[in-house]
Amino acid sequence: MKINNLEEIAKKYRREMFEKFLLTKTGHPGSIFSMMEIAVSLYHGEFVRLKENKKEFKDKVLISKGHATSTLYPILRDFGIISKKEWDSWGVKKSKLRIFGNTSIPGINITSGSLGHCIGAGAGMAISYKKNNQDNKVYVVISEGELYEGSTWEALLLAKHRNLNNLTIIIDVNSLIILGNTSDCLNLDPIKKKMEGLDIKTLEVDGHNINQLVDALKNTDESNEISCIIAKTVKGKGSSIMENKKNWHYWSPMTDEEINKTRLELK
Amino acid sequence: MKLQRDIFIKEIIKKMEKDKNIFFLSADFGAAALDELRERFPENFIHCGISEQAMLDVASGLALEKNKVFVYAMAPFLSLRAIEQAKCGAGLMNLPICMISVGIGLGYADAGPTHYANEDFSCFRSVVGSSIYTPADNESTKLIAKEMLEKPKFSYVRLDREHLKDLEPKINQKDYKNGYQILGKIKKQKTAIISHGKILHNCIEAFKNDKNKYILINLFKAKPFPKNLAKDVKKINNFLVVDEQSPSGSLSSCVFEGFSESGFFPKIISSSLPEEYIFDNGGREYLLNKYGLSKKDLLKRAKKFK
């Protein structure tokens, strides 16, 4: 695994996703760009392992922030899980791929979109693996906005109580929700203290720094307790038009000039 | 006197002896049989805390890993509190999760309206892909448990808090396959009383002395609506549908829609609880009597056809 390569891969995926946004005129670029390095580190950093048949992954990734599940599509394409034909069809003709992922899409392990479900579902998977002495791992990526959902905290209590060290929770903290900054709307900080208050081992990293992400994932993989990674990110990372703008939660129409500028910035 | 919940859980225990991929999840809700299950199969039992929502999400994760999953809680909380989790998990992903919901209707009298499940039937009927069972006795409860263990599916099983008497005659395999049991002989001039669960027993009590005028139908499987029912009762024109639920979306709506699908349009009258939250004390029978489901009220409603 070469870190430089992973950085380049993340850039390439941002470019590819941007072209898909232009084609489909829909999606959640802010949220997808904020978690790109997280997804790339998980898969290309080889934390998520392929089964021997190379046709599916042994470990599970649940994108609880379902509006950003499509971050995984170019990755799954490159691993041969989603066909190139399916990827090429997306936005052009009939395709299984869509903004919110679901289990009919190869490599997507859960149907998500409604927030606050996947820590519980991930805990269920992790319990099943442990009971059957399987060494599969589960990674759940949530948005910080999901910390507003009560079911998130219910599930965290259970996961901690059962010491699910095969479950890693990654919180994408880009500090924005639909109506503005979380600190203004309804403050969530200090998130780290809250997680540690549940006695959950919590690491904090720059969510766009592959080195830090990879180190944190190594640490959680080797841990004998349930772990959480708080990834501090920038919503819309990579595009000056989108970065830290709440209205770029959703796709917004762009002028030709803005499109050209974004293409240049994403190079 | 065995409770429905113990009958159901006993069947799960029997199956757990051979099948290690069964999980039983509870949101801090107990039963005598559950004590045995927890002791004998601790690895297959998950106490989810008083957290119905997370319990359903955990169930989804377990079911995605091909386990047979039963979730268990008090009816008002398992249903309305966690309905979105049921939709997004068992519903959207078509997962074989069986929800065992105890204390339907006014089962938790005198706890008050927070503990009454008088809206759960309509709520779960509206969740796409759900199957709904409301057994009126231990025999059908046992058969439902066996079915969920043999052929797991997204199901919402509504059990009573109280012991319910056995039905005479007992439900047979054909009845079970049909999803309903007809008590009495079908004749054109008769009025049919359709009900399920505990309130069916009140109907039996109300109409038992007039077998020439009435037949009773134990509709223990309301969803999917039994295909053969309309055909079996097509001679009858008058139906009184009795349910311990609030009026909107109670069993009568289900019967009307089920019959309509078959092109059958008889007269249907509904007897249910009122469109209000009930704060009175006095016990379940007192409340049923007070709120339109007494023997006298049911007979009066049935006479409206004349």
- Specify the pLDDT at position B164: 97
Question: Residue A1: pLDDT above 80?
Answer: no
CB B59 within 8 A of CB B38: no
pLDDT tens for each residue of B1-29: 899 999 999 999 999 999 999 999 999 99
Nearest to A120 among B57, B65, B84 (CB): B57
The residue of chain B nearest to residue A59, with distances taken between CA atoms, is B65
Of the candidates B159, B183, B216, which is a domain's last residue?
B159
Chain B residues touching residue A148 (CB < 8 angstroms): none
In a domain? residue B165: no
Question: Residue B30: pLDDT above 80?
Answer: yes
- Residue B90 sits in the same domain as residue B206: no
Residues contacting A82, CB < 8 A, separation 6+: A73, A76, A97, A105, A106, A107
Phi, psi angle pair for B259, to nearest 5°: -65, -45
Tokens describing residue A73:
């599509």
Of the candidates B159, B193, B212, which is a domain's last residue?
B159
Cα dist. A95→A55, A66, B210 in Å?
A: 20, 18, 62
Give the C-alpha separation, A135 to B26, whole Å: 26
Instruction: End-to-end CA distance of chain A: give it in Å, rounded.
Output: 22
- Specify the pLDDT at position B305: 86
Q: What pLDDT band is residue B61 in, cutting at 50, 70 and 90?
A: very high
Global confidence as pTM: 0.97
Parent domain of A176: 3-265
pLDDT tens for each residue of A142-151: 999 999 999 9
Give the C-alpha separation, A10 to A119, whole Å: 25
Cα dist. A45→A39, A40, A82, B9 in Å?
A: 9, 7, 19, 45
- Specify the pLDDT at position B306: 67
Give the C-alpha separation, B23 to B62, whole Å: 8
In a domain? residue B228: yes
Residue B262, Cβ density class (10 Å: 0-12 exposed, 13-18 middle, ≥19 buried): middle
Average confidence (pLDDT) over A203-221 = 98
- Residue B60 sits in the same domain as residue B138: yes
- Residue B272 sits in the same domain as residue B182: yes
| Interface predicted TM-score of the whole assembly (ipTM), two decimals | 0.96
In a domain? residue B212: yes
Task: Please report, as a single letter, which amino acid is at residue A118.
Answer: C
Helix residue spans in B151-188 (DSSP H)? 173-178
Mutate to test the interface with B, among A154, A162, A169 (most CBs of B within 10 A): A154
Q: Which helix (H) or strand (E) holds A223?
A: none
Cα dist. A15→A12, A237, A262, B107, B125 in Å?
A: 5, 12, 9, 59, 45
Q: What is the mean pLDDT of chain B?
A: 97
In a domain? residue B143: yes
Q: With an 8 Å Cβ cutoff, are B89 and A150 in contact? A: no
Residues pairing with A62 in the sheet: A140
Task: Please report, as a single letter, which amino acid is at residue B52.
Answer: E
| B207: nearest Cα among B171, B183, B186, B229 | B183
How many domains, in total, are found in chain A? 1
How many domains, in total, are found in chain B? 2
- Residue B26 sits in the same domain as residue B139: yes
Task: Please report, as a single letter, which amino acid is at residue A7.
Answer: E
Parent domain of B247: 173-305
Mutate to test the interface with A, among B25, B41, B58 (most CBs of A within 10 A): B58
- Interface residue A26 vs chain B (CB under 8 A): no
- Interface residue B93 vs chain A (CB under 8 A): yes
3-state secondary structure at position A202 = strand
Mutate to test the interface with A, among B88, B94, B127, B154 (most CBs of A within 10 A): B88
In a domain? residue B166: no
**What CATH code is carried by the domain that includes residue B9?**
3.40.50.970
- Residue B87 sits in the same domain as residue B115: yes
pLDDT tens for each residue of A9-38: 999 999 999 999 999 999 999 999 999 999
Average confidence (pLDDT) over A186-201 = 98
pLDDT tens for each residue of B206-220: 999 899 999 999 999
Tokens describing residue B281:
């004390």
Give the C-alpha separation, A163 to A160, whole Å: 5
CB B122 within 8 A of CB B245: yes
Q: With an 8 Å Cβ cutoff, are A114 and B51 in contact? A: no
- Specify the pLDDT at position B1: 83
Task: Please report, as a single letter, which amino acid is at residue A148.
Answer: Y
Average confidence (pLDDT) over B268-291 = 96
In a domain? residue B167: no
**What CATH code is carried by the domain that includes residue A79?**
3.40.50.970
Instruction: End-to-end CA distance of chain B: give it in Å, rounded.
Output: 40
Tokens describing residue B275:
């469109």
Residues contacting A117, CB < 8 A, separation 6+: A64, A110, A151, B57, B60, B85, B88, B89
In a domain? residue B74: yes
| B21: nearest Cα among B57, B66, B71, B61 | B66
pLDDT tens for each residue of B137-178: 999 999 999 999 999 999 999 999 999 999 999 999 999 999
- Residue B194 sits in the same domain as residue B222: yes
- Residue B135 sits in the same domain as residue B271: no
Average confidence (pLDDT) over A181-205 = 97
- Specify the pLDDT at position B260: 98
Helix residue spans in chain A (DSSP H)? 3-24, 29-34, 36-44, 72-78, 84-89, 118-131, 150-161, 182-185, 191-197, 210-222, 256-265
**What CATH code is carried by the domain that includes residue B279?**
3.40.50.920
Give the C-alpha separation, A192 to A202, whole Å: 7
- Residue B117 sits in the same domain as residue B190: no
Give the C-alpha separation, A168 to A118, whole Å: 12
- Specify the pLDDT at position A75: 98
Give the C-alpha separation, A30 to A247, whole Å: 9
pLDDT tens for each residue of B75-114: 999 999 999 999 999 999 999 999 999 999 999 998 999 9
Q: Tell me the nearest-neighbour CA distance from B105 into chain A, angstroms.
A: 26
Average confidence (pLDDT) over A157-185 = 97
Give the C-alpha separation, A106 to B100, whole Å: 32
Q: Which residue has the tokens 């589960």?
A: A138
Q: Tell me the nearest-neighbour CA distance from A122 into chain B, angstroms.
A: 6
- Specify the pLDDT at position B263: 97
| B89: nearest Cα among A114, A104, A140 | A114
- Interface residue A111 vs chain B (CB under 8 A): yes
